[in-house]
Amino acid sequence: MVMEVNLISKEKLSKMGSMEKIRMILDSVKEGKIVVLETGLTPEEEAKLIEVTMLEIDHQNFVGIELESYPQKEKSFLSRILGKRQGRMTIIGPANKLKTLEKREDLIRALIT
Amino acid sequence: MGFFAGLKKKLRFLYRLFLRKDKLKIGIYGPPNAGKTTLANRILRDWVGEIIGTPSEIPHETRRVKLREGVKIQVDGKSITIDVVDTPGIAAKVDFHDFLKYGLSEEEAKRRAKEATEGVIEAIKWLDDLDGILLVMDATEDPYTQVNVTIVGNIEARKLPLIIVANKIDLPTASPARIKAAFPQHQVVPVSALKGINIDALYKAMAEKFG
């Protein structure tokens, strides 16, 4: 079995809008690919990703996503002032192909089948 | 998130801070089967003598947001009036095959799955209309799931007051300490919504946090 894994850099993600990221993720995942984001998504983007995923579940070929990310670090003073939040490394894949084995604050173990 | 969305959130936070409402909308959130409806029923039974829904061992039993307005909670001379918002369980996947093992027909399972996806969307949208959150976690399960992390992140981003309810402490494998360790920045109240164990501590925490 061959699985494609797309690792998306921080630089590429920083140039993308929220919906652009979500569309790119879902298009890849629906094609059976695993997506790894270097900087991940904000909590709001994760919620939006779940919302859009729910809209696109067809109960046959696509039943949803497996999404795992590290929790956000404490915000710096500057980011507190600017109100900016940045996600951390995140892995997303089709729910029927990616299974999380263990998740800790600094470790994510996953199985790709 | 755009500038205006951020500004809207900050204004909402200031509005909540300075213009306290007589009635607060408190959302009960969590993953499927954490005991959200059981907790909503416990609160309503204790304070208004009714229930809001029927819990089930089949996941996604609650597929529409349910609202009960004007529930007055009185603890130690302090009282708060809340609207209880019982929400469907939040999940990133809904597979109808998971419902077949509970004896549902394929048609019923597919209908339930479709309604469940709509319920997840509705639950997420409700986050923007609430004044506080009770996040229910099953204390017998690993709390460090992405759904819990995402919900907590969204509550923090909206600056909503949050109490984590470590539910099902009547079960022998329950470990509220594991939840406290996973989310040390938030107040965790261990309860059994089903048996009513330690429920007074939750009411006290609600009166202090939301009042």
| Residues in chain A within 8 Å Cβ distance of B150 | 43, 46-47, 50, 67
Predicted confidence band of residue B13 (pLDDT cuts 50, 70, 90): low
Residue A70 pLDDT = 80
Q: In what order do the strands lie in the sheet with B78-86?
A: B66-75, B78-86, B23-29, B132-138, B162-167, B187-190
User: What pLDDT digit, counting tens, does each position of A39-97 carry?
Assistant: 989 999 999 999 999 999 998 899 999 999 887 665 556 555 555 556 788 999 999 99
- How many contacts, defined by CB atoms under 8 Å, are there between A and B? 87
- In degrees and rounded to multiples of 5, residue B91 shows phi and psi of -145, 160
Rounded Cα distance, B157 and B3, in Å: 14
User: What pLDDT digit, counting tens, does each position of B130-149 carry?
Assistant: 999 999 999 999 998 999 99
The verdict on residue B3 lying in a domain is no
The total domain count for chain A is 1
Say if residues B68 and B52 touch (Cβ distance below 8 Å).
yes
Rounded Cα distance, A66 and A51, in Å: 14
Instruction: Please answer yes or no on whether A96 and B145 come within 8 Å at the CB atom.
Output: no
User: What pLDDT digit, counting tens, does each position of B151-180 carry?
Assistant: 999 999 999 999 999 999 999 999 999 999
**Tokens of residue B146, six digits:** 């992405």
The total domain count for chain B is 1
Whose tokens are 């205006």? That residue is B4
- In degrees and rounded to multiples of 5, residue A26 shows phi and psi of -65, -40
Residue B41 pLDDT = 98
Q: What is the mean pLDDT of chain B?
A: 92
Interface test with A, best of B100, B144, B146 (most A CBs within 10 A): B146
According to DSSP, the residues that pair with B83 across neighbouring strands are B25
The verdict on residue B40 lying in a domain is yes
The verdict on residue B133 lying in a domain is yes
Residue A55 pLDDT = 97
Give chain A's largest Cα–Cα span. Answer: 48
Region B111-138: what's the mean pLDDT?
97
Residue A69 pLDDT = 87
Q: Which of A55, A63, A69 sits opposite B93 (nearest CB)?
A: A63
Say if residues A10 and A39 touch (Cβ distance below 8 Å).
yes
Predicted confidence band of residue A2 (pLDDT cuts 50, 70, 90): confident
| Residues in chain A within 8 Å Cβ distance of B118 | 54
A90: contact with B, CB 8 A cutoff: no
| CA B66 to centroid of chain Cα atoms | 12
Instruction: Look at residue B12 and tell me whether its pLDDT is greater than 80.
Output: no
Residue B5 pLDDT = 61
Instruction: Look at residue A33 and tell me whether its pLDDT is greater than 80.
Output: yes
Residue B167 pLDDT = 98
Say if residues A51 and B121 touch (Cβ distance below 8 Å).
yes
Instruction: Please answer yes or no on whether A47 and B94 come within 8 Å at the CB atom.
Output: no
Q: How far is CA A11 from CA A25, A30, A77, A91, B200, in A?
A: 16, 24, 23, 17, 51
Say if residues B209 and B132 touch (Cβ distance below 8 Å).
yes
Residue A85 pLDDT = 58
The domain in which residue B140 lies consists of 22-210
Instruction: Look at residue A8 and tell me whether its pLDDT is greater than 60.
Output: yes
The domain in which residue A83 lies consists of 5-112
Region B31-40: what's the mean pLDDT?
97
Whose tokens are 């939006």? That residue is A48
Residue A100 pLDDT = 87
Q: Report the CATH number at residue B200.
A: 3.40.50.300
Region A31-36: what's the mean pLDDT?
96
